[in-house]
Amino acid sequence: MAFVPQHSLRAQEELKQSGGASIWAQVTAMAVERKAINLGQGYPDFPGHSVARERAAKAILDEPALNQYTPIGGLPALGGSISAYYGRAYPAEQHYDAASEVMVTASGTEALYVTMQALISPGDEVILFEPYFPWYLPAIRLAGGTPVVITLEPPRFAYDEPCLARFAAAVTPRTRAVIMNTPHNPTGHVATAAELEAFAAVVRASGPAGMVCIADEVYENILFGDAVHTRIAALPEMRERTLCVGSASKLFSLTGWRVGWILGGAELLKSIKMVHGYAIFCAPAPLQIGVAAAFDAEAQPPAAAAADGDAAMAIAGGSNFEGVPALLERNFAALAAALSGFGLSVCDADGGYFLVADIAGAVPASMGDSEFCKWLIDKAGVACMPMNVFYSREGPWRCTLVRFCVCKTAPLIDTACEALGRKTAAQHFAESG
């Protein structure tokens, strides 16, 4: 008799919810098969921070002790570099103690997962805003929590007054946490100081035993134009109840390294560090050393460079993350122009890795986002991602939003723009009858 695996009840439930992952896999597989220009998956096609790579390589090859276990909370060298960086980047804020208020994780994704495992009990509610990073929902559910979802409205996806009113109304005695993501994945909205203050007011109103704010700020350095990243932890009475998640994946364009961190009060981090120790124990040691070196190389943060009016000098000098924010802003503008010419409506963004566009008005009313993504690969040789995977809605519904990633080299983006410029969507449909 064949063995029948018995999955946990939570795993069984999560397997039933994997429709979005299936769509994602289908579009990705089609892009590979057709050799399309892949603007679907959000990873850079350039090497990543040179200082980090060089220092990690030296640790791997020449320093055997740096290839072994590290303390559970991370190498002291990296904790110190993270603490020092945030002190430079946000000098008006209270300093984070490297030993007790900085914890190194194996990626920002793991940081979110162990935070949920440590803080959420069965029946607890976690508020989040859609569209969202697709790993939020499973992390909540696998901890036994109940997701409470509030929708951000296109084209700005702002934490505006109606949205914040829905947030306040959603809070119950069971609300344990809320996720604030800025700069936002996938929309690129950067929350304004006014939005954050109104958001924080709802959090504070939950009382001293109320909700924790989980601030996903992994795109904090990717800012366009005059956008400014304000940390919600810097607002009155928010530091002690905020956990800030960061990641070398986005800060240093090293998505495969899986090195992240959490900033927060020592008491909040205590249980999270315990769960992290049992789940992962420690992030890769030589890569922690590389990330520490990259932090140390970023002596001048983006905000200071912009304030000095000398961003070009900062980029040339190896600061400002080796020019990546400027590259992505340039890519966004180029791709936005091409997509507008193609017939799509582009949603404005203030930063981040992605561009969201609306296909409504450019395609037949029967075509949704998933069908459009496959059609675009076939007709223009460009792959994007359907936005329905970033929403919690069940059953058939027509989403008309799609996501393109701009975290690519300029030549790749330009090639995509050229492909999109050959014919408009209307011309493609006219030819096909």
Three-class secondary structure of residue 129 per DSSP: strand
Is residue 427 in a domain? yes
Give the domain CATH number at 334. Answer: 3.90.1150.10
CB 244 within 8 A of CB 370: no
Q: Cα separation of 129 and 160, whole Å?
A: 12
Q: 296: burial class by Cβ within 10 Å (0-12, 13-18, 19+)?
A: middle
CB 74 within 8 A of CB 261: yes
Q: What is the pLDDT of residue 20?
A: 58
Structure pTM?
0.91
User: Is residue 263 domain-shared with residue 332, that is, in the same domain?
Assistant: no
Q: Cα separation of 318 and 322, whole Å?
A: 5
Is residue 4 in a domain? no
pLDDT tens-place string over residues 144-173: 999 999 999 999 999 999 999 999 999 999
Q: Which two tokens stand for residue 357?
A: 């566009």
Tally of domains in the chain: 2
Three-class secondary structure of residue 38 per DSSP: strand
Is residue 270 in a domain? yes
Residue whose tokens read 């303390």: 71
The residue among 406, 389, 388, 405 whose CA lies nearest residue 397 is 388
Is residue 283 in a domain? yes
User: Is residue 22 domain-shared with residue 72, that is, in the same domain?
Assistant: no
First-to-final CA distance of the chain: 55
Is residue 194 in a domain? yes
Instruction: Give me the DSSP letters along 352-421.
Output: SSEEEEE-BTTB-TT--HHHHHHHHHHHHSEE-EEGGGGS---SS----EEEEE--S-HHHHHHHHHHHH
Q: Cα separation of 329 and 318, whole Å?
A: 18
Residues in Cβ contact with 247 at an 8 Å cutoff, skipping those fewer than 6 apart:
107, 108, 111, 218, 259, 260, 261
Query: Which structural domain range is residue 170 located in?
Result: 50-298
Q: What is the pLDDT of residue 318?
A: 42
Segments of the chain scoring below 50 in pLDDT: 301-318
User: Is residue 26 domain-shared with residue 56, that is, in the same domain?
Assistant: no
Q: What single-letter DSSP state applies at residue 155? A: T
Instruction: Give me the DSSP letters along 212-275.
Output: EEEEE-TTTT-B-TT-----GGGSTTTGGGEEEEEEHHHHSS-TTT--EEEE--HHHHHHHHHH
Is residue 10 in a domain? no
User: Is residue 268 domain-shared with residue 160, that is, in the same domain?
Assistant: yes
User: Is residue 67 domain-shared with residue 87, that is, in the same domain?
Assistant: yes
User: Is residue 100 domain-shared with residue 217, that is, in the same domain?
Assistant: yes
Residue whose tokens read 């404005």: 348
CB 89 within 8 A of CB 303: yes
Is residue 316 in a domain? no
Q: What is the pLDDT of residue 33?
A: 87
Helix axes 324-342, 410-421, angle to 10 degrees: 0
Q: What is the pLDDT of residue 393?
A: 82
Is residue 376 in a domain? yes
Q: Cα separation of 260 and 137, whole Å?
A: 19
User: Is residue 93 domain-shared with residue 204, that is, in the same domain?
Assistant: yes
Q: What element of type H or E holds 117?
A: helix 108-119
User: Is residue 281 domain-shared with residue 425, that is, in the same domain?
Assistant: no
